[in-house]
Structure 1
Amino acid sequence: MKTPFLTLLFTAFFITITAQETPQVGDQLMVNGPSNQFYNHVDFPQLNFLVKRGKIANYKSVKGNHVEISHVETDKNGTQYVTLKKKDGGKFFGYLNSVKANYNKSINSGELSVIQ
């Protein structure tokens, strides 16, 4: 009697954990600092491209921004990619409307965090 009950309990637990990790369109995230010197899992431009466009070569302007998921896609390997837009409708670095990010890797590395 204990075994079926515990199996059902663990199955329900893992289903709820998995359901919380799937991104939905409209979810809100916050951009944190890069995991090292550069963003590895969020496709922000490299610093030398910002300098070529006449911008200041740092990521301070995007750190702390609230972003919203506008599109979710899953490739054939099961990796989930999200397209992010700024919540206030502005542009990243003054010229990018949206950026693409690997959802699971960017959350695990701390580059993005979920806003509850």
Structure 2
Amino acid sequence: MMKKTFLLVVCLSVCWFAQAQDSPKIGELLRINGPSGQFYNHVSFPQLNILVKRGKIASYKPVCRNEVVIDEVVTKNNGETYVVLKKKDGSKFFDFISKVEANYTKAVDSGNYL
């Protein structure tokens, strides 16, 4: 009896932690990983040619490993959850973008966040 109760508690806590990861909260801290390919597919960073036009290096390395804060959570009509991100230290992405939007579920599944 005690063994079954313990297993039930363990299973419920695992389910609770798995569900908690799917719902973003305002103020939650995330870390941006490098893109899974050449570009970020689920985070709306500018394309590399736009960075070059603004006088920046055509690379996403300046945003890799940055800590960001969820500023806003938006649920679109199609049911997907988007988050608005800003840097934890208050500076701008690439020195000209203060906030970016990202598809939370797809970005977490692809490994763009830690």
Do the structures match in fold with TM over 0.5? yes
Q: What is residue 53 of structure 1 aligned with on the other side?
A: 54
Q: Percent identical across equivalent pairs?
A: 53
Q: How far apart, CA to CA, are the structure 1 residues paired with 2:42 and 2:101?
A: 9
In the alignment, structure 1 segments of 5+ residues that lack a partner are 1-5
Question: Which residue in 1 is equivalent to 2:3?
Answer: none
Question: Would the alpha carbon gap of residues 20 and 112 (structure 1) be closer, same or farther in structure 2, given more than 3 Å must change?
Answer: closer
Q: Given the two structures, how large is their TM-score scaled by the length of structure 2?
A: 0.85
Structure 1 runs of 4+ aligned residues shifted over 4 Å read 9-13
What does residue 98 of structure 2 align with? 97
The amino acid across from 1:43 in the alignment is: S
d(CA) in 1 for partners of 2:97 and 2:58?
15
**Aligned Cα root-mean-square deviation (Å):** 2.0
Q: TM-score, normalised by structure 1?
A: 0.84
Measured against aligned partners, the alpha-carbon deviations of 1:31-60 in whole angstroms (never above 9, x if no partner) come to: 100010000000000000000111110011
CA distance in 2, matches of 1:78, 1:10: 28
1:11 offset after TM fit, Å?
7.0
Structure 2 counterpart of 1:97, which letter? S
Cα distance, 1:75 vs structure 2: 1.3
Counterpart amino acid of residue 26 in structure 1: G
Give the direction of change, closer, same or farther, for the CA distance of 1:104–1:54 in structure 2 (3 Å limit).
same
Corresponding residue number in structure 2 for 1:3:
none
Aligned residue pairs total: 108
Structure 2 residue 34 is matched with structure 1 residue 33 = yes
Is the helix fraction higher in 1 or 2? 2
* Aligned counterpart, 1:112: 113
> Match for residue 24 of structure 1?
25
Distance in 1, Cα, partners of 2:60 & 2:88: 18
Unaligned runs of 5+ in 2: 1-6
Secondary structure of the structure 2 residue equivalent to 1:19: helix
